Amino acid sequence: MEQSIENKLIIADKAFSEWKKVPFEERQKLIAKAAEILKANSEKFGRIITTEMNKPISESIAEVEKCALMMNYYADAENILKPEKVESEFAYSEVHFVPKGVILGVMPWNFPFWQVLRFAVPAILAGNTIVLKHASICFGSGNAIENVLLEAGFPEGVFQNLEVGHKVVKEILEHDVVKGVSLTGSGKAGGEVASIAGLNIKKSLLELGGSDAFIIFDDADQEEAAKAGVKSRLQNCGQTCTAAKRFIIDEKIEGDFLPKFIEEYKKYEIGDPLDKETKLAGMARADLADELEAQFNRALENGAEIIIPLERISDNEFKPGLIRVQKGNPVLKEELFGPLGMIMIAKNDEEALEIANDIPFGLSNSVWTKDKARQLFFIENLESGTVNINRMTSSDPRFPFGGSKASGYGTELSLIALKEFVTSKTIVGN
Ligand code: NDP
């Protein structure tokens, strides 16, 4: 490892020895200040995001504002890390929540501010310090976040952006001062990083891909479902882990719903990412577009039918596509991380559930029905970290966020995230 990177790890460790003593409420004040800076400069930071990964500028600004909202949630959060008394026969009988130390974040490019801050803010509030290995196309975002936190008054070393490629992650994670890792990204990267963490007995948290179902029944508000479904699939050019990727339609409304859905889909046209009116722009990298095109072709070779062709119009731009997929198509085992949706038809509730669960992932699903009994059936039986009823998935700082099955493990957001990178230390005796 380069000396400059090792030096940063040492700085993070030194910072930890002081930061862990700072009271929770003092940490919260700094988080509130950082939120204020983000909000006041959302256009400036939005431009950095768009320039790095092509997201439409209106979405980039909204991302920065959502970070501020999340940080205000933690700035006002109840301190659940205070020592807890336990009823027992002992004089000492309590649990302390002790921060672990330096935590590594390995973060992706699809939400360059949100993914980083969603992980870092609760970890820092719990008393840890952070080193970030951001996606290689997002070092500007990483540096901007570091500067916001410094400007807000966080001590040097509490959060540092390391400009390194992924090959260095192993050495960083193996370093003695690093005590855990949180990774958001592909299953491949997640598996490799978690295995290094495991071999070194270090805590890991994984937020990986998904292939969420969006299930629409005959008693749903079809207009609203069509709008929300298309937005969920195509915002951020389809590069969202919790995007609706498989639309499972009740066969009774196929003829009614599908035309509405297609009409809505066609409203998303490629534009200049820096224009505030643009709803769809290019993908983040040309190799990701190559991969999506290859998946589209493989899906067709395995029997998928074209509803709207996926048309490549430049290195990284597509006119969004829609395909009808039958059970058994191998593409259903993959994540389609771009503007390509899948339509599936279900005969009844049981079949809709079976299709929804028949994938390796378990991130978040969305069910559209007004029938309470049906809502409960899906709430109880869908295998995913989140179930939305009559709404598209959109994470909210107040609620836990995380996946099941191959979508990962561990919890981000909500008060629960405060306890991800702490050790529960038992104090007992007389
Ligand atoms: P990766 O998972 O490869 O990248 C995410 C982060 O992990 C980046 O910081 C990357 O660094 C790092 N990384 C990659 N490989 C390793 C490794 N072996 N060890 C340690 N760190 C690693 O995503 P891609 O950018 O290649 O996208 C590929 C696919 O991943 C997408 O098409 C999508 O399916 C999925 N993905 C899912 C995301 C989600 O939110 N669930 C987010 C991003 C991608 P570097 O940039 O230097 O390679």
Interval 121-172: pLDDT, tens: 999 999 999 999 999 999 999 999 999 999 999 999 999 999 999 999 999 9
Does the beta carbon of 108 sit less than 6 angstroms from any atom of ligand 1? yes
Active site residue 207: yes
pLDDT given for residue 1 in this prediction: 84
Kindly report the backbone phi and psi dihedral angles of residue 359, in degrees, each rounded to the nearest multiple of 5, phi listed first.
-140, 165
pLDDT given for residue 37 in this prediction: 98
User: Residue 132 Cα, ligand 1 centroid: separation in angstroms?
Assistant: 14
Closest Cα to atom 15, ligand 1: which residue?
A: 189
> Rounded to an integer, what distance in angstroms lies between the CA atom of residue 428 and that of residue 294?
59
Does the beta carbon of 106 sit less than 6 angstroms from any atom of ligand 1? yes
pLDDT given for residue 380 in this prediction: 98
pLDDT given for residue 126 in this prediction: 98
pLDDT given for residue 208 in this prediction: 97
Which value does ipTM take for this structure?
0.97
Closest Cα to atom 30, ligand 1: which residue?
A: 186
Does the beta carbon of 45 sit less than 6 angstroms from any atom of ligand 1? no
Residues with pLDDT less than 50, the chain = none
Per-residue DSSP letters for 316-374?
S-EE-EEEE--TT-GGGGS---SSEEEEEEESSHHHHHHHHH-SSEESEEEEE-S-HHH
Catalytic, out of 52, 63, 241, 412? 241
pLDDT given for residue 357 in this prediction: 98
Contact 327, 321 (CB under 8 A): no
Model confidence, pTM: 0.97
Does the beta carbon of 166 sit less than 6 angstroms from any atom of ligand 1? yes
pLDDT given for residue 382 in this prediction: 98
Quick one: DSSP state of residue 155? P
CA dihedral 81, 85, 87, 89 (to 10 degrees): 130
